[in-house]
């Protein structure tokens, strides 16, 4: 462990409630895994001294890596293990059970000596009710210890993590450290971070400071431009793909259905190009009649840009009318791919935050065609794509965000980890 992680371990030995506010890649999960393992093992030479540990994370996907690492570490001492329920039982009598914060009954009926809440700010819903009604009572019997860790996610007075860090929640002792406190990270990578992230994103994600996002600009137009200008249609490229955000969300049956067309060109300059976009008013049952025009446009762009591979997608938001469109496209043997629910289930602000570094690093360029295009929609003739993306402000409501969603989906799929993140 590095010095910062050792400080956290020392805090756990002397306090009952500790909140860790640290930048990305500081090593939060690593030190939490070490603490959980030591607690479950217990004192050397004492066969029944192991403690009961409850681990609470945002979802199964984020819990699984920590479970796998702990399972490998504790294998020589393990008496039983469930990869289905994510639980580990040790010969010492100790054990570790994993829960998701999306479960409002997480931990109910259990008794724990130690509770760990990892990535507290990434839970889909605010965790205060789960903490107060389900998690906290598990510590009463044995006077257990609670550790909560995360990176700030805006200024939210209703958020347990924010209140604990700012002294508004009694009993919590805060540990704060930026990403740079991890000495094992490469110095040259750390030096690049202020250049690759917008200032407020850097302040929140790297310095681990609370940022008020209301009204702050996020995606700048300059980041799209090369020498101050939109670019010609790229040629050749690797592949064309498209993302679709359908209408009929939140009961708004005739909201916009949007599509954005991208080119991926990693073999040449590693950029993503915004080639074209469109937004239409169309009811859900007629989407399948509109869909072939998207496939046709993808093929036209593929030919124009001399793509090396066949078009991919379209990637469709698997929600509401999008689900119907996916089913109809499959039934009619038309190409279609559902956007992973891990992307569609998080909020607009979270998706924007996960892609802003790609945008700010100038990994995305907009073509002259897409930048100069205007269409009449909702009684307004303008470039709706640029107005939605550039006009986006975290924390503020938007009357229309269909093209913005398509853009963030497109960046996640084209520049993410291969599965859209």
Question: Are residues 363 and 267 part of one domain?
Answer: yes
Question: Are residues 338 and 238 part of one domain?
Answer: yes
Residue 211 counted as domain residue: no
Kindly give, in sequence order, each residue whose CB lies less than 8 Å from that of residue 399, ignoring residues fewer than 6 positions away: none
CB atoms within 10 A of CB 71: 17
CB atoms within 10 A of CB 168: 11
Share of the chain above pLDDT 70, in %: 93
The confidence score (pLDDT) of residue 421 equals 42
Question: Are residues 178 and 241 part of one domain?
Answer: no
The confidence score (pLDDT) of residue 312 equals 92
Q: Give the total number of structural domains in the chain.
A: 2
Q: What would the pLDDT profile of 177-196 be if each residue is shown by its tens digit?
A: 999 999 999 999 899 888 87
Question: Are residues 240 and 373 part of one domain?
Answer: yes
Q: What would the pLDDT profile of 261-313 be if each residue is shown by its tens digit?
A: 999 987 666 789 999 999 988 776 788 899 999 999 999 999 999 999 999 98
d(CA 70, CA 68): 6
d(CA 49, CA 71): 19
Q: What would the pLDDT profile of 354-397 be if each residue is shown by its tens digit?
A: 888 888 888 999 999 999 999 988 888 899 999 999 988 876 66
Question: Are residues 178 and 36 part of one domain?
Answer: yes
Domain holding 359, by residue range, is 222-415
Mean pLDDT of 205-210: 93
**Helix 3-14 with 28-41: angle, nearest 10 deg:** 50
CATH number, residue 357? 3.30.420.280
Q: Which residue has the higher pLDDT, 219 or 212?
A: 219
The confidence score (pLDDT) of residue 342 equals 73
The H-or-E segment that residue 268 falls in is: none
Q: The pTM is what?
A: 0.67
Residue 32 counted as domain residue: yes
Question: Are residues 266 and 176 part of one domain?
Answer: no
Q: What would the pLDDT profile of 234-251 be if each residue is shown by its tens digit?
A: 999 999 999 999 875 444
SS3 per-residue string spanning 156-187 = CCCCHHHHHHCCCCCCCEEEEECHHHCCCCCH
User: Scanning the structure block, which residue is given the tokens 């592949």?
Assistant: 239
Domain boundary, last residue among 186, 210, 231: 186
Residue 192 counted as domain residue: no
Residue 195 counted as domain residue: no
CATH number, residue 138? 3.40.50.300
- Is 69's pLDDT higher than 90? yes
Kindly give, in sequence order, each residue whose CB lies less than 8 Å from that of residue 358, ignoring residues fewer than 6 positions away: 272, 364, 411, 415
d(CA 209, CA 203): 6
pLDDT-derived band at 320 (thresholds 50, 70, 90) equals confident
pLDDT-derived band at 253 (thresholds 50, 70, 90) equals very low
- Is 254's pLDDT higher than 50? no
Residue 197 counted as domain residue: no
Q: What would the pLDDT profile of 95-114 be if each residue is shown by its tens digit?
A: 999 999 988 899 998 999 99
Question: Are residues 360 and 289 part of one domain?
Answer: yes
Strand stretches in 58-123, DSSP E? 78-82, 87-90, 95-100, 114-117
The confidence score (pLDDT) of residue 194 equals 87
- Is 418's pLDDT higher than 60? no
Question: Are residues 111 and 20 part of one domain?
Answer: yes
The dihedral through the CA atoms of 31, 32, 33, 37 has a sign that is positive
Q: What would the pLDDT profile of 296-305 be if each residue is shown by its tens digit?
A: 999 999 999 9
- Given a contact cutoff of 8 angstroms between Cβ atoms, the answer to whether 391 and 409 are in contact is no
**For residue 21, what are the β-bridge partners?**
150, 176
Question: Are residues 274 and 140 part of one domain?
Answer: no
For the beta sheet containing 52-57, the strands, ordered from the edge strand earlier in sequence to the opposite edge, are 78-82, 87-90, 95-100, 52-57, 114-117, 145-150, 17-22, 173-177
SS3 86: coil
Question: Are residues 244 and 131 part of one domain?
Answer: no
Residue 266 counted as domain residue: yes
Residue 297 counted as domain residue: yes
pLDDT-derived band at 349 (thresholds 50, 70, 90) equals confident
Residue 314 counted as domain residue: yes
- Given a contact cutoff of 8 angstroms between Cβ atoms, the answer to whether 109 and 137 are in contact is no
SS3 62: helix
Question: Are residues 180 and 54 part of one domain?
Answer: yes
d(CA 265, CA 263): 6
The strand pair at 271-281 and 364-366 is best described as: parallel
d(CA 127, CA 160): 7
Question: In whole numbers, what is the pLDDT of the chain averaged over residues?
Answer: 89
Kindly give, in sequence order, each residue whose CB lies less than 8 Å from that of residue 385, ignoring residues fewer than 6 positions away: 260, 274, 277, 279, 370, 373, 403, 407
Q: Which residue has the higher pLDDT, 342 or 16?
A: 16
């Amino acid at each position: 462990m590095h010095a910062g992680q050792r400080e956290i371990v020392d805090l756990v030995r002397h306090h009952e409630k500790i909140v860790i506010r640290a930048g990305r890649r500081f090593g939060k999960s690593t030190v939490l895994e070490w603490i959980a393992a030591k607690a479950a093992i217990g004192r050397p030479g004492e066969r029944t001294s192991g403690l009961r540990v409850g681990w609470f994370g945002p979802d199964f996907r984020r819990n699984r890596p920590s479970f796998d690492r702990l399972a490998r570490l504790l294998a020589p001492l393990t008496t039983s293990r469930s990869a289905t329920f994510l639980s580990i039982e040790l010969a010492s009598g100790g054990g570790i059970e994993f829960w998701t914060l999306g479960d409002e009954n997480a931990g109910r009926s259990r008794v724990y000596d130690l509770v760990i809440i990892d990535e507290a700010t990434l839970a889909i819903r605010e965790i205060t009710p789960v903490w107060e009604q389900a998690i906290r009572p598990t510590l009463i019997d044995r006077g257990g210890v609670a550790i909560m860790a995360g990176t700030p996610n805006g200024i939210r007075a209703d958020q347990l993590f924010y209140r604990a860090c700012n002294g508004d929640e009694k009993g919590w002792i805060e540990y704060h450290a930026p990403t740079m406190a991890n000495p094992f990270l490469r110095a040259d990578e750390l030096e690049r971070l202020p250049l690759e992230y917008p200032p407020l994103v850097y302040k929140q994600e790297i310095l681990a400071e609370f940022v008020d996002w209301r009204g702050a600009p996020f995606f700048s137009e300059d980041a799209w431009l090369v020498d101050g200008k939109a670019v010609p249609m790229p040629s050749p490229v690797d592949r064309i793909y498209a993302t679709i955000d359908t209408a009929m969300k939140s009961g708004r049956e005739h909201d916009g259905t949007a599509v954005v067309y991208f080119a991926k060109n990693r073999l040449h300059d590693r950029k993503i190009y915004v080639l074209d976009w469109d937004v239409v008013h169309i009811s859900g049952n007629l989407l399948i009649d509109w869909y072939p025009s998207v496939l046709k446009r993808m093929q036209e762009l593929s030919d124009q840009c001399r793509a090396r591979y066949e078009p991919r997608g379209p990637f469709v938001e698997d929600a509401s009318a999008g689900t119907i469109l996916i089913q109809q496209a499959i039934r009619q043997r038309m190409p279609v791919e559902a956007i992973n629910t891990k992307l569609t289930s998080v909020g607009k602000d979270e998706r924007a935050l996960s892609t802003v570094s790609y945008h700010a690093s100038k990994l995305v360029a907009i073509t002259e065609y897409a930048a100069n295009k205007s269409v009449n929609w909702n009684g307004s003739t303008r470039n709706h794509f640029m107005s939605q993306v550039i006009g986006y402000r975290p924390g503020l409501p938007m009357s229309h965000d269909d093209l913005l969603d398509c853009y963030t989906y497109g960046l996640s799929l084209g520049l993410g980890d291969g599965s859209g993140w």
